Amino acid sequence: MHAGKLIFAQVMEFAPWHTFRRLVAKYRGDFNVRSFSCLDQFLCMAFAQLTYRESLRDIEACLQAQPAKIYHLGIRGTVSRSALADANEGRDWRIYCEFAQALIRIARRLYAAEPLAVELSETVYALDATTIDLCLSLFPWAPFRSTKAAVKLHTLLDLRGAIPVFIHISDGKLHDVNVLDMLIPEPGAFYVMDRGYLDFNRLHALHQAGSFFVIRPKSNFKFRRVYSLPVNRTEGLICDQLIELVVFYSHQGYPERLRRIRYRDPESGKTLVFLTNHFALPALTVCELYRSRWQIELFFKWIKQHLRIKRFFGTSENAVKSQIWIAVASYVLVAIVRKRLKIELSLHAMLQILSVTPFEKAPLIQLLTEMAPMENSALTDKQMNLF
């Protein structure tokens, strides 16, 4: 019998706790705290994410059912609904935001060599947002519609490993395109976006920073063709053009030439148009780049299904943001475990195993490795394998 640490404690060992302690000191998270520290809060909330707890009562009941093992999970304070609710309301959410970002930096280094759907050495990002509906009477700080509240998760996803590089949490009224003002463009990187981010002033700022973008224009897009490049129509390409904008304000915002590619998808039969400021890539590669943007849609669907971010344990802005950032940290931490232990299981399968074995005592790598042959490939093919 393995007499070592609990499975949950072994997973938590992969987190940089020295960084967490530094952030707690930076934001004075444990100031005037007697028993239930920021670390206790994080571990309880991470436990809730990994084991699919639905409420504070659910967390308390599950942990109190194993009183002799709470200490070995790393939790030193007394777990209660009131203590956890007070911590979610009062502890600064920026602690967990910056801790999640520290985990993201680790994960990006581990997944830097992951292959892309296209043959590119440059970094490729997908930018999009998803909306989480809320009750307006309980969340008045997050207005969206006249009778509805919502929060938006604006996410920049690194397509090498599907790691969220940038996340901004806003109320439902913030338009997606405003997030471009918050990004620090990375020279040489590709930003793949849908037509909701079409703003020529902001796109020109990306261009001036040395970044590249791939985006779809709107249906009323007006331009002047300057030159047409030869295309292979057997590949679905219809045209590859160099264009200039003709609308006054659009031309003022983006005075340089753009590349316009028109493509017919052989699978769906739909005709799609793309704009980019990269003139050297093959036209078909640009189309495949935009196709890879679908990974961020799968990412949103995956985290809504497998993390607790649709039902919140508190109603304040601080509690909601804390829960979302701890969910992101838990997601990235499991991705780090998967890469460092070289686990062949999908992330979904790993979370399923961890959800039922947090109190078990077994070597983590042995538990996850022995389960690999048992994974039903027919089932996992239907899941969203992001890694």
- Dump pLDDT digits (tens) for 307-327: 888 889 999 999 999 999 999
Give per-residue pLDDT as tens, 62-77: 999 988 899 999 999 8
CB of 11 closer than 8 Å to CB of 331: no
pLDDT for 208: 95
Average pLDDT over residues 188-201: 94
Does residue 378 surpass a pLDDT of 60?
A: no
Mean pLDDT is lowest, of 160-164, 347-351, 376-380, for 376-380
- Per the model's pLDDT, the better-predicted residue between 24 and 265 turns out to be 24
Average pLDDT over residues 110-125: 85
Average pLDDT over residues 32-58: 92
Does residue 49 surpass a pLDDT of 50?
A: yes
Residues in the chain: 387
DSSP 3: -
Q: How confident is the model at residue 385 (pLDDT cuts 50, 70, 90)?
A: very low
Distance CA 83, CA 35 (A): 9
Q: How confident is the model at residue 372 (pLDDT cuts 50, 70, 90)?
A: low
Average pLDDT over residues 351-378: 77
CB of 123 closer than 8 Å to CB of 187: no
pLDDT for 383: 46
Tell me what the pLDDT averaged over the chain comes to. Answer: 89
Give per-residue pLDDT as tens, 275-307: 999 999 999 999 999 999 988 998 898 888 888
Distance CA 143, CA 135 (A): 10
CB of 260 closer than 8 Å to CB of 223: yes
DSSP 108: H
Global pTM exceeds 0.85: yes
DSSP 292: T
Residue type, 314: G
Q: What does 353-378 look like in DSSP terms, one character per residue?
A: HHHH-TT-BS-HHHHHHHHGGGS-HH
Average pLDDT over residues 180-205: 94
Average pLDDT over residues 188-206: 94
Does residue 380 surpass a pLDDT of 80?
A: no
Average pLDDT over residues 224-243: 91
Kindly report the number of other CB atoms within 10 A of residue 135's CB atom: 13
Distance CA 214, CA 259 (A): 10
Average pLDDT over residues 18-37: 92
Distance CA 381, CA 5 (A): 33
Among 306, 312, 317, CA closest to 351 = 306
Give per-residue pLDDT as tens, 75-104: 998 899 999 999 999 999 999 999 999 999
pLDDT for 310: 82
Q: How confident is the model at residue 3 (pLDDT cuts 50, 70, 90)?
A: low
pLDDT for 267: 82
pLDDT for 46: 94
User: If 0-12 CB within 10 Å is exposed, 13-18 middle and 19+ buried, where does residue 169 land?
Assistant: buried
Containing 133, the helix (H) or strand (E) segment is strand 124-134
Q: Residues with Cβ < 8 Å from 51, sequence gap 6 or more?
A: 62, 354, 355, 356, 358
Give per-residue pLDDT as tens, 346-360: 888 888 899 899 999
Collapsed DSSP state (helix, strand, coil) of residue 239: strand
DSSP 6: B
CB of 361 closer than 8 Å to CB of 38: no
